[in-house]
C-alpha cells in the first residue's frame, strides 16, 4: 500500500495564519459607550451604528432590514494590512448592506497528498473558523473543524456541532461543511441559503435573479427587493402599508484607498473601494457619508468612516490621530484612539476615547464634553479590561489624576466567562449585585445587597425549559418560573410566576395545510416542542402558595394566538385566515 503525506497549497497557507477578525457589533457582556445613534465598544474602540430600512409584520416572525456599519475594517495578516472580508471573501469596508438575516462564514483550505515517490494522490479539505454574524454586525464564533479526504490511503469525512464560544447560546450544525445552519438561543433556524425558520415552521426566504434579491416574508409577500442591477446604486424597494412599493436609494462612489499606519514590519495596503456616500429616503430626506483622508497621501482615503450627516442636519464625526499609528493597534487592527463629535447642526459636543496597554490589561479612558458648571474641566471615566473583559470602571469629577473619584464599579467573572458580581463603591458606601449565568448566557439568579450588607436583600431566581426535546431544537430561553424572595435563597417569597409551554389542549387548535411560507413537513401539526407559553400562573397569597390563578393562551398551527384568558373568567379571541 502506498503511503501519502499532505502538502498544503501555498496560497491557502497564507490564509491560515491570518489574524482573527476584530470583534464587531455588540458582543455579549461587552462594555459600550452609548451615543444614541451609535455605540462604541470600549474594549476595542469599534464604532457600530444601524440605519433602519424597512419592517414587515409577519406570521410568527417579522421581516426587517437595516444597514449596519462597524469601524474596525483592517486586520493584520502576518506582515501586511488586509481588509476584513465577508463569507465570499469580498471586503466589507465595515458595511452590512444586504445582510437581512445575517451571514454564516467559514474558511476552507485544500491540501494535496503525495506518495513518497512524489506522485500526487487524493485531496484533503479542511473547513474551520465557522462564525455567524447577525444583521447588526455581532459575530459569534464556533470552535470546530470539518475534514474531508479521499484517495489518500482511504476516504474519510468529519462533521461537528458546537455552541458559540461567547456564551451567547448560538448553536451551529456543520454536519454538511458547505451548508451549515445556525440556531439562535430562541430556536430560530438560520441557513446559509437565505432562509430563516421560527419554531412553528414559518419561514422567510430569498431568491436572486438578474442582481435583484427578493425577500419573501412569512405571509408570502415579496416584502423587500434589493436591486444591485445598476452600477453605483443599490435600490431597496419595500411594501408599505397600502401594498405599494417605496424606494430607498443607496449611492456608492469609488475611492482610492491607502493605509499609512506606520507599523514596523507591516506593509501598507493600496487599492480601490466602492463605498456608500448617501442613502436617500422615500420622503427625499437623506443620510450622507464622508471618509477619512489618508495622512500624507493626497487623494487617498483610509476606508474609515469620518462623518455621518443625518436627515435632520446633525452629524456624528469620528476623528483619528494624524500622526504615529493613526489610532490603530499594530498587533491586531483594533483602535487605540478615537474622538467622536456629535452635533445637532448648531452645537457640537466632543468625546475622546484613548486605549492603552498597562501590563497584561488594557485601559480605556473616556473624556466627556465639558459641562457648563465644571469650570472648563472635562469629566473622565476609566475602564480596565482583563482578558478582554471589563474588570473595573472608575468615574471622576474632572480628570483621572487631579480630581475627585465619584464612583467605582468592580466586576468579577465566573469560570464560564459570564459576569459573577458587580460591586459599586461611592465614598464609604458600597453595594453589590451578584449574578449567575449558565453556559448559554441565560441569567439564572440575581442577588442584590443593601449598602454595606453582607447578605442579600433580595434574590431573583429564574428557571428555564430544559427538556431534551426543546434543547435539541436550541429553544433555550423559555422561562418556566420566576421567583423573587426577600433575603437569600430561603427567604420569604414575594412574587412567583409559573409558565407552562405547549400543553396539548392549547396548541395546534387549527391546522390548515398548505399555507404560504410554512414548512408543513418538518413542522407538522403534531409537533409539540414549539416554545409557546400556554399557561401563566400567579398566586393570590404567594408566601403560602395558595390562591393560584391560571391564565391560558391557545394557538393555531402557525403560532398565532387565537384565544386567551383575561381578567378572571373573561376570554379574548382572534380569528386568523390561513395565510396569516
75 and 120 inside one domain: no
Q: Is 142 exposed, middle or buried (0-12, 13-18, 19+ CB in 10 A)?
A: buried
CA distances from 290 to 97, 137, 275, 278, 391 (A): 17, 21, 9, 9, 36
Dist CA 42 CA 385 (whole Å): 9
Residue 6 has pLDDT above 60, yes or no: no
Domain ends where: 175, 193, 211?
Answer: 193
Cell of 508: 395546534
Asked if the structure places residue 30 within a domain, the reply is: no
216 and 316 inside one domain: yes
How confident is residue 1, by pLDDT bands cut at 50, 70 and 90? Answer: very low
113 and 213 inside one domain: no
Q: 155 or 299, which is more confident? A: 299
* Sequence-separated (6 or more) residues with CB below 8 Å from residue 136: 25, 26, 48, 50, 66, 68, 96
Q: Considering only CA atoms, which of 185, 196, 168 is closest in space to residue 101?
A: 196
Asked if the structure places residue 149 within a domain, the reply is: yes
Over residues 109-135, the pLDDT tens digits come to 888 777 666 667 678 888 999 999 999
Residue 211 has pLDDT above 80, yes or no: yes
Residue 163 burial (CB count, 10 A): 21
Residue 240 burial (CB count, 10 A): 11
pLDDT at 111 (0 to 100): 82
Asked if the structure places residue 55 within a domain, the reply is: yes
Dist CA 29 CA 418 (whole Å): 7
Report the share of the chain in percent with pLDDT over 70.
92
Q: What is the mean pLDDT of residues 347-369?
A: 97
Q: What is the mean pLDDT of residues 219-223?
A: 97
How confident is residue 149, by pLDDT bands cut at 50, 70 and 90? Answer: confident
Dist CA 26 CA 402 (whole Å): 33
Residues in the chain: 580
Report the share of the chain in percent with pLDDT over 90.
79
71 and 134 inside one domain: no
Dist CA 325 CA 319 (whole Å): 13
How confident is residue 15, by pLDDT bands cut at 50, 70 and 90? Answer: very low
DSSP secondary structure letter of residue 262? -
Dist CA 434 CA 489 (whole Å): 13
Burial 379-408 (b: 16+ CB within 10 A, else e): bbbbbbbeeebbebbbbbebeeeeeeeeeb
User: What is the signed CA dihedral for 87, 90, 95, 101, rounded to 10 degrees?
Assistant: -30
How confident is residue 14, by pLDDT bands cut at 50, 70 and 90? Answer: very low
Residue 477 phi, psi (nearest 5)? -105, 15
One-letter-per-residue 3-state SS of 210-277: CCEEEEECCCCCEEEEEECCCCCEEEEEEECCCCCEEEEEEEEEEEEEECCCCCCCCECCEEEEEEEE
The answer to which of 115-129, 212-226, 364-378 has the lowest mean pLDDT is 115-129
pLDDT at 2 (0 to 100): 45
Residue-number span of the structural domain to which 132 is assigned:
1-23+102-193
How confident is residue 356, by pLDDT bands cut at 50, 70 and 90? Answer: very high
Cell of 550: 391560571
Over residues 417-455, the pLDDT tens digits come to 999 999 999 988 999 999 999 999 999 999 999 988 889
Cell of 538: 400567579
Which residues are registered as beta bridge partners of 131? 105, 141
Residue 238 has pLDDT above 70, yes or no: yes
pLDDT at 509 (0 to 100): 83
Q: 11 or 386, which is more confident? A: 386
How confident is residue 148, by pLDDT bands cut at 50, 70 and 90? Answer: confident
pLDDT at 19 (0 to 100): 59
Q: Considering only CA atoms, which of 149, 173, 169 is closest in space to residue 159?
A: 173
Write down the mean pLDDT value for the chain: 91
Residue 17 has pLDDT above 60, yes or no: no
228 and 313 inside one domain: yes
Q: What is the DSSP string of 525-560?
A: TT------EEEEEEEEETTTTEEEEEEEEEE-TTS-
Domain ends where: 281, 310, 333?
Answer: 333
Scanning 369-490, the segments in alpha helix (DSSP H) are 468-471
78 and 113 inside one domain: no
Domain ends where: 310, 333, 356?
Answer: 333
183 and 304 inside one domain: no
506 and 543 inside one domain: yes
Are 75 and 67 within 8 A, CB to CB? no
208 and 189 inside one domain: no
Amino acid at each position: 500500500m502506498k503511503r501519502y503525506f499532505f502538502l498544503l497549497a501555498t496560497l491557502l497557507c497564507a490564509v491560515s495564519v491570518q489574524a482573527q477578525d476584530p470583534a464587531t457589533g455588540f458582543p455579549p457582556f461587552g462594555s459600550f459607550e452609548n451615543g444614541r445613534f451609535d455605540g462604541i465598544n470600549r474594549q476595542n474602540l469599534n464604532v457600530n451604528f444601524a440605519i433602519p430600512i424597512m419592517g414587515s409584520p409577519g406570521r410568527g416572525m417579522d421581516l426587517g432590514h437595516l444597514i449596519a456599519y462597524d469601524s474596525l475594517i483592517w486586520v493584520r495578516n502576518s506582515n501586511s494590512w488586509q481588509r476584513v472580508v465577508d463569507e465570499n471573501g469580498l471586503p466589507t469596508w465595515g458595511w452590512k448592506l444586504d445582510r437581512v438575516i445575517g451571514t454564516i462564514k467559514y474558511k476552507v483550505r485544500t491540501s494535496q497528498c503525495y506518495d513518497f515517490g512524489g506522485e500526487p494522490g487524493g485531496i484533503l479539505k479542511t473547513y474551520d473558523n465557522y462564525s455567524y454574524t447577525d444583521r447588526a454586525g455581532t459575530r459569534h464564533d464556533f470552535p470546530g473543524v470539518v475534514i474531508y479526504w479521499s484517495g489518500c490511503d482511504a476516504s474519510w469525512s468529519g462533521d461537528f456541532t458546537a455552541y458559540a464560544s461567547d456564551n451567547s447560546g448560538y448553536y451551529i450544525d456543520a454536519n454538511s461543511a458547505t451548508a451549515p445552519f445556525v440556531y439562535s438561543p430562541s430556536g430560530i433556524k438560520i441557513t446559509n441559503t437565505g432562509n430563516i425558520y421560527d419554531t412553528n415552521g414559518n419561514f422567510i426566504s430569498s431568491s436572486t435573479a438578474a442582481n435583484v434579491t427578493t425577500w419573501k416574508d412569512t405571509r408570502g409577500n415579496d416584502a423587500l427587493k434589493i436591486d444591485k442591477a445598476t452600477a453605483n446604486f443599490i435600490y431597496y424597494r419595500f411594501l408599505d402599508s397600502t401594498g405599494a412599493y417605496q424606494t430607498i436609494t443607496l449611492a456608492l462612489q469609488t475611492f482610492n484607498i491607502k493605509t499609512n499606519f506606520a507599523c514596523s514590519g507591516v506593509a501598507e495596503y493600496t487599492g480601490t473601494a466602492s463605498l456608500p456616500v448617501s442613502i436617500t429616503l422615500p420622503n427625499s430626506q437623506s443620510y450622507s457619508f464622508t471618509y477619512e483622508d489618508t495622512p500624507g497621501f493626497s487623494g487617498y482615503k483610509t476606508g474609515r468612516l469620518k462623518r455621518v450627516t443625518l436627515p435632520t442636519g446633525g452629524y456624528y464625526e469620528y476623528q483619528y490621530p494624524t500622526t504615529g499609528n493613526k489610532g490603530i493597534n499594530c498587533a491586531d487592527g483594533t483602535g487605540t484612539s478615537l474622538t467622536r463629535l456629535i452635533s445637532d447642526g448648531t452645537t457640537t459636543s466632543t468625546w475622546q476615547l484613548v486605549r492603552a496597554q498597562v501590563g497584561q490589561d488594557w485601559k480605556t479612558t473616556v473624556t466627556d464634553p465639558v459641562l457648563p458648571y465644571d469650570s472648563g474641566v472635562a469629566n473622565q471615566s476609566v475602564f480596565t479590561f482583563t482578558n478582554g473583559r471589563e474588570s473595573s470602571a472608575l468615574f471622576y469629577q474632572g480628570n483621572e489624576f487631579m480630581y475627585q473619584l465619584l464612583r467605582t464599579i468592580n466586576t468579577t467573572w465566573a469560570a464560564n466567562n459570564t459576569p459573577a458580581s458587580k460591586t459599586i463603591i461611592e465614598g464609604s458606601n458600597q453595594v453589590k449585585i451578584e449574578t449567575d449565568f449558565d453556559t448559554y448566557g441565560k441569567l439564572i439568579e440575581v442577588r442584590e445587597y443593601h449598602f454595606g450588607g453582607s447578605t442579600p436583600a433580595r434574590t431573583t431566581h429564574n428557571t428555564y425549559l430544559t427538556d431534551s426535546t426543546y434543547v435539541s431544537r436550541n429553544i433555550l430561553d423559555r422561562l418556566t418560573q420566576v421567583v423573587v424572595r426577600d433575603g437569600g435563597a430561603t427567604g420569604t417569597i414575594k412574587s412567583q410566576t409559573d409558565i407552562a409551554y405547549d400543553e396539548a389542549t392549547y396548541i395546534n387548535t387549527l391546522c390548515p395545510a398548505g399555507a404560504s411560507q410554512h414548512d408543513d413537513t418538518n413542522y407538522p401539526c403534531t409537533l409539540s416542542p414549539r416554545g409557546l407559553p400556554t399557561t401563566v400562573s400567579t398566586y393570590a397569597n404567594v408566601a403560602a402558595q395558595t390562591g393560584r390563578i391560571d391564565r391560558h393562551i391557545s394557538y393555531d398551527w402557525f403560532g398565532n394566538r387565537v384565544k386567551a384568558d383575561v381578567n378572571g373568567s373573561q376570554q379574548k379571541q382572534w380569528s386568523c385566515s390561513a395565510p396569516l
